């Protein structure tokens, strides 16, 4: 089949502004004068011929100019599994609701007073956690529980009595495994428990060094979050050589057991695992924080019913970095936990309601009720669906809407994060600003590519059995189109003036179904 005839017959720019076409035509890239075709069309034809041979499967592709004119497309309106490119939508929606400068707070709340002589807190108290993705991550950005305890000490509090109660503004603070995620992901580092109670991304991490001689216990030289070493029973052994057979296993009551062996010449090893009990991590880290702040704590074991503590006053508070800083990290690292927490920050704690609100947001921006249906905010679910046209329409339109200013800067640049493989073959970091998505049967990427004649908006979705080959071809296309590229503008809206004097009210219509 002639690849040219398989391209959609609708110029995307016309579709965005309510114009449709009755018969297929070959879309052309506009040159700087927006009239003459260029050789890029043939380049795309040849690229797709190679890509579809190396990675057979379902492809959905749209390449458009910054003002919405279609350059080239393949199955543009077919909904496919998008994987983590969903985070583009989540970022836009959450930013619209909470704002670029929005922050998450973690507090000590309570009801009572402080003994002026002893500094003892007389009354109830609780930790209020609100889903701060960055809370208590040693070596990374974000507030710490030690800082929170120090704020408490600055208030004159020198001792606390009673069990640790945990509350949240959004209701039940306990995290859970999202029902939208496949059970096979349980326990994987990219799929920790999600909820307001979030500490060190709900992971436990230990740096272990060999003991001084064979037969001795290894040394726990580092821990995340700080204080969790108190939960670990060290049953490992140092042996001769360079071997590393250490294992970190969860035990009852939120505790952990370090087993196996490490060689005397093995050097330091880091073990990281998903915590099935973030509540235990929080309690251990809070114990450490209070000690660091010079506050004595006499707790009863475990957590209690959140309703047991009155929370009339804020006794101490720490806040996250601004939304934009968090969102940029979430997208760069493609953090599923971070994306889910951004979504719930904006839409509330009910995951199903939050996903429905996200879907409605995307449909309102693109004007297409058929091109997207989402069940989570991270893209980890294989029940998510979106079309390449939906992504391109969103990226072309959103920078003009509330929350959209400087939107490309929230996506990683080539050479950064999940775009690290694009460190070579392009003139400079920032020629591409894009988000990737990867599952066992998915390789997707959507974003912006800077060229001298204008920014291209690109979405490539692949569903099939060869995602690695598909990803290689996607990077090949970016290098092909961006060989002499320029930096993507990251100051204001990047789309062209064809949206009219009031782009926020310009109707958006997708291409007709094929």
Give the model's pLDDT for residue 420: 96
Q: Do residues 127 and 286 touch, judged by C-beta distance below 8 A?
A: yes
Q: Do residues 104 and 98 touch, judged by C-beta distance below 8 A?
A: no
Positive or negative: CA dihedral 30, 36, 39, 41: positive
What's the CA gap between 192 and 177, in Å, rounded?
Answer: 7
**What confidence tier does 301 reach under pLDDT thresholds 50, 70, 90?**
low
What's the CA gap between 256 and 220, in Å, rounded?
Answer: 13
Instruction: State the distance between the two ends of the chain, measured CA to CA, in whole angstroms.
Output: 16
Residue for token pair 């290894």: 218
3-class SS letters over 14-30: HHHCCCCCCCCCCCCCC
pLDDT > 50? residue 498: no
**What confidence tier does 30 reach under pLDDT thresholds 50, 70, 90?**
very low
Centre a 10 Å sphere on the Cβ of residue 487 and count the other Cβ atoms it contains.
16
**What confidence tier does 499 reach under pLDDT thresholds 50, 70, 90?**
very low
How does DSSP classify residue 483?
T
Residue for token pair 């310009």: 506
Query: Max CA-CA distance within the chain?
Result: 87
Q: Mind listing the pLDDT tens digit for each residue in 125-183?
A: 999 999 999 999 998 999 999 999 999 999 999 999 999 999 999 899 999 999 999 99
Q: Mind listing the pLDDT tens digit for each residue in 248-295?
A: 999 988 999 999 999 999 999 999 999 999 999 999 999 999 999 999
Give the model's pLDDT for residue 308: 55
What's the CA gap between 353 and 241, in Å, rounded?
Answer: 55
Give the model's pLDDT for residue 309: 58
State how beta strands 432-439 and 385-386 pair. unpaired
**What confidence tier does 101 reach under pLDDT thresholds 50, 70, 90?**
very high
Select from 449, 443, 401 the least CA-distant residue to 72: 449
498-506 average pLDDT score: 40
In order, the DSSP letters of 247-268 are: EEEE-GGG-EEEESEEETTS--
Q: Where are the beta strands (DSSP E) in 265-338?
A: 269-274, 296-298, 303-304, 313-319
Give the model's pLDDT for residue 180: 98
What's the CA gap between 23 and 145, in Å, rounded?
Answer: 63
Q: Mind listing the pLDDT tens digit for each residue in 455-468?
A: 999 999 999 999 99
Q: Mind listing the pLDDT tens digit for each residue in 342-389?
A: 999 999 889 999 999 999 999 999 998 999 999 999 999 999 999 999
Q: What is the mean pLDDT of the chain?
A: 88
CA 161 to chain centre: 38
Q: Which residues pair with 209 in a beta bridge?
A: 219
- Give the helix/strand (H/E) hosting 205: strand 203-209
Joined tokens for residue 362:
């995307």
In order, the DSSP letters of 416-465 are: SGGGGGGGSSSSSTTSEEEEEEEETTEEEEEEEE--TT--EEEEEEEEES
pLDDT > 70? residue 37: no
- Please report, rounded to a whole number, the percentage of residues in the chain having pLDDT higher than 90: 81
Of residues 23 and 159, more confidence is placed in 159
pLDDT > 70? residue 63: yes
State how beta strands 303-304 and 164-167 pair. parallel
pLDDT > 80? residue 6: no
What's the CA gap between 157 and 114, in Å, rounded?
Answer: 6
Q: Mind listing the pLDDT tens digit for each residue in 302-349?
A: 444 445 556 689 999 999 999 999 999 999 999 999 999 999 999 988
SS3 percent helix, strand, coil of the chain, rounded to 5, is: 30, 25, 45
117-122 average pLDDT score: 96
């Amino acid at each position: 089949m002639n690849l040219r005839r398989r391209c959609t017959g609708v110029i995307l720019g016309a579709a965005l502004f309510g114009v449709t076409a009755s018969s297929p035509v070959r879309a052309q890239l506009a040159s700087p004068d927006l009239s003459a075709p260029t050789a890029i069309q043939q380049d795309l034809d040849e690229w797709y011929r190679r890509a579809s041979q190396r990675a057979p499967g379902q492809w959905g592709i749209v390449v458009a100019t910054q003002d919405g004119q279609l350059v080239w497309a393949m199955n543009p309106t077919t909904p496919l599994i998008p994987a983590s490119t969903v985070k583009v939508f989540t970022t836009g929606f959450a930013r619209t609701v909470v704002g670029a400068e929005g922050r998450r707070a973690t507090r000590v709340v309570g009801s009572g007073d402080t003994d002026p002589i002893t500094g003892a807190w007389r009354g109830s108290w609780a930790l209020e956690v609100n889903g701060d993705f960055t809370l208590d991550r040693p070596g990374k950005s974000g507030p710490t529980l030690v800082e929170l305890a120090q704020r408490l000490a600055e208030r004159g509090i020198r001792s606390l009595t009673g069990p640790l109660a945990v509350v949240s503004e959004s209701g039940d603070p306990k995290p859970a495994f999202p029902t939208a995620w496949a059970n096979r992901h349980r326990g994987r580092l990219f799929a920790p428990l999600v909820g307001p109670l979030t500490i060190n991304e709900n992971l436990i991490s230990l740096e272990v060094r060999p003991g001084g001689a064979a037969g001795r216990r290894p040394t726990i030289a580092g821990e995340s979050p700080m204080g969790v070493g108190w939960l670990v029973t060290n049953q490992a052994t140092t042996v001769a050589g360079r071997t590393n057979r250490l294992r970190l296993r969860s035990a009852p009551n939120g505790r952990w057991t370090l087993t196996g062996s490490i060689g005397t010449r093995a050097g330091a090893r880091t073990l990281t695992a998903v915590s099935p009990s973030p509540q235990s991590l929080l309690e251990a880290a809070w114990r450490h924080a209070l000690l660091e702040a010079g506050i004595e704590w006499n707790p009863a074991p475990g957590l209690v019913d959140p309703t047991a503590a009155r929370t009339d006053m804020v006794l101490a508070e720490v806040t996250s970095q601004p939304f934009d800083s968090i969102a940029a990290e979430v997208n760069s690292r493609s953090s599923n936990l971070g994306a889910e927490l951004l979504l719930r920050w904006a839409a509330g704690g009910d995951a199903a309601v939050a996903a429905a609100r996200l879907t409605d947001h995307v449909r309102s921006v693109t004007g297409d009720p058929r091109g997207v249906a989402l069940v989570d905010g991270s893209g980890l679910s294989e029940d998510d669906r979106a079309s390449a046209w939906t992504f391109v329409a969103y990226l072309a339109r959103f920078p003009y809407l509330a929350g959209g200013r400087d939107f490309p800067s929230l996506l990683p640049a080539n050479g950064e994060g999940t775009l690290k493989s694009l460190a070579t073959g392009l003139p400079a970091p920032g020629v591409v600003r894009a988000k990737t998505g990867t599952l066992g049967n998915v390789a997707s990427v959507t974003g912006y590519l800077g060229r001298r004649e204008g920014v291209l908006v690109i979405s490539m979705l692949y569903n099939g059995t060869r995602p690695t080959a598909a990803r290689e071809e996607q990077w090949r296309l970016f290098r092909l189109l961006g060989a002499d590229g320029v930096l993507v503008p990251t100051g204001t809206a990047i789309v062209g003036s064809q949206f009219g004097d009031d782009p926020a009210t310009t109707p958006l219509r997708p291409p007709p179904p094929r």
